[in-house]
């Protein structure tokens, strides 16, 4: 299905009904970020689609980024954002801004939208109930970019079993109480793996995995881990797509059934990816 088919309406068909029955009772981890978060209209569409999937009996954990909002606040404070291979480098001043933006502003905004749509949601960071224990990604002085050491998903299963939708920001702490900024893609994939979910879905600002970065119509609808590794070796994947595909591969190697990368800028792309056989983005399997 080409992106041009996606319009303002999602049409239920016989295949949609069969997929609703198939996925009812399943658990999905959805990671939401990119420029799809910048526009309130697009964000509202994503929230509506998540609410619909939730109403169909699918258990959803929403893990979010918010990099563009972080960057806006850093600029206001005259702090230059720094990245390496798509990962934010976080000093002490930056990590304070990251926690303020992600765990307060972005997280509670998403929770409010879901609650206002009658999907009861609870916002938390990876600090809460020690959901993720972190450690520094390098020994560099004052680098508060973190890596995942351990996932304790009990709080998520408790919330899901009581019909709450968890909304998670990727701010964690270590055993000493230091705060770390985790890459949200990485955090989401570790959560997905810890729960052995049915699908790990990344809503971002790209059509999916492109065979040619200069050709938006070169979307690869289906690929496996071997193909991903070969594309990396050939230099066909760069920048922010590196941690995205790394997180997909990690989840698939750790009991997640399928991973997806879809374009949140397209209305109902989430519904088309889940509730049609042709999908809207890229599906990665083991």
**CB contact at 8 A, 37 and 66:** yes
CA dihedral 286, 283, 66, 176 (to 10 degrees): -10
Position 243 scores a pLDDT of: 87
Lowest mean pLDDT among 85-94, 151-160, 201-210: 85-94
Domains within the chain, CATH numbers bracketed: 26-285 (3.40.1160.10)
Q: E strands along the chain, which residues?
A: 27-32, 59-64, 82-84, 87-89, 121-125, 132-136, 146-151, 165-169, 171-173, 179-181, 199-204, 222-224, 258-263, 282-285
Are the C-beta atoms of residues 130 and 172 closer than 8 Å to each other? no
Percentage of the chain modeled with pLDDT above 70: 97
pLDDT above 70 (res 155): yes
**Residue 67 marked as a ligand binder:** yes
59, 28 Cβ separation under 8 angstroms:
yes
Mean pLDDT, to the nearest integer, of 61-79?
Answer: 94
Residue-level pLDDT at 207: 92
Residue 265 labeled ligand binder: no
Predicted pLDDT at 3 = 43
Q: Is 48 annotated as a binding residue?
A: no
Among 79-88, 122-131, 200-209, the range scoring the smallest mean pLDDT is: 79-88
Check whether 88 is labelled as a binding-site residue.
yes
What's the rounded mean pLDDT across residues 134-146?
A: 89
Asked if the model's pLDDT at residue 1 lies above 70, the reply is no
pLDDT tens-place string over residues 214-223: 888 899 999 9
Confidence at residue 7, expressed as pLDDT on a 0 to 100 scale: 54
Pairing of strands 87-89, 82-84: antiparallel
Asked if 113 and 47 count as a contact pair (C-beta separation under 8 A), the reply is yes
The b-or-e profile of 82-118 (16+ CB within 10 A means b, else e) is eeeebbbbbeeebbebbbebbbeebbebbbebbeebe
């Amino acid at each position: 299905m080409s992106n041009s088919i996606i319009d303002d309406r999602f049409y239920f068909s016989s295949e949609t009904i069969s997929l609703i029955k198939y996925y009812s009772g399943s658990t999905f981890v959805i990671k939401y970020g990119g420029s799809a978060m910048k526009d309130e209209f697009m964000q509202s569409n994503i929230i509506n689609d998540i609410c619909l999937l939730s109403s169909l009996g699918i258990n959803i954990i929403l893990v979010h980024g918010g990099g563009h909002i972080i960057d806006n606040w850093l600029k206001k404070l005259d702090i230059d954002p720094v990245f390496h291979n798509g990962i934010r480098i976080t000093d002490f001043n930056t990590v304070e801004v990251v926690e303020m933006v992600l765990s307060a502003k972005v997280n509670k905004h998403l929770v409010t939208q879901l609650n206002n749509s009658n999907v009861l949601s609870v916002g938390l960071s990876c600090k809460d109930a020690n959901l993720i224990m972190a450690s520094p990604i390098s020994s560099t002085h004052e680098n508060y970019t973190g890596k995942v050491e351990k996932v304790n998903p009990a709080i998520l299963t408790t919330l899901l079993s009581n019909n709450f939708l968890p909304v998670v920001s990727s701010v964690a702490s270590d055993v000493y109480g230091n705060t770390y900024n985790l890459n949200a893609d990485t955090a989401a994939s570790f959560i997905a793996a810890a729960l052995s979910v049915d699908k790990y879905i990344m809503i971002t600002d790209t059509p999916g995995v492109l065979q040619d970065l200069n050709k938006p119509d070169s979307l690869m609808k289906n690929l496996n881990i071997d193909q991903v590794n070969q594309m990396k070796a050939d230099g066909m994947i760069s920048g922010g797509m590196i941690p995205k595909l790394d997180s997909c591969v990690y989840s698939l190697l750790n009991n997640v059934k399928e991973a997806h990368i879809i374009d949140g800028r397209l209305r109902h792309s989430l519904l088309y990816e889940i509730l049609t056989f042709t999908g809207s983005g890229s599906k990665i399997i083991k």
